[in-house]
Amino acid sequence: MSGLVRVTAAADGKILSSEVNARAMRLDSYTLAEEFTAAANRAQEAAAARVRELVGEVIGDGAGGAHRPGGHDGY
């Protein structure tokens, strides 16, 4: 996408804010809606990745992966 729309999401995926570059106003409504959707998805994915990273640090797996050294790869 063009980066004309920026969205910020909280750790729970809730949209906190959005910014629209003035150039985005030149887009047709369909393209602008696509920009918002893509920006929201990127923001939510980034928030989820950060949560996984932090959880991984807390449980001692800095990579945030599911593998646990005792042979327990999940429950």
What pLDDT sits at residue 37?
A: 96
What pLDDT sits at residue 3?
A: 86
For residue 41, give its domain range: 5-58
- Is 69 part of any domain? no
What pLDDT sits at residue 66?
A: 52
**What's 1-67 look like in SS3?**
CCCCEEEEECCCCCEEEEEECHHHHHCCHHHHHHHHHHHHHHHHHHHHHHHHHHHHHHCCCCCCCCC
pLDDT at residue 75 tops 50: no
- Is 68 part of any domain? no
- Where residue 2 falls among pLDDT bands split at 50, 70, 90? confident
- Is 43 part of any domain? yes
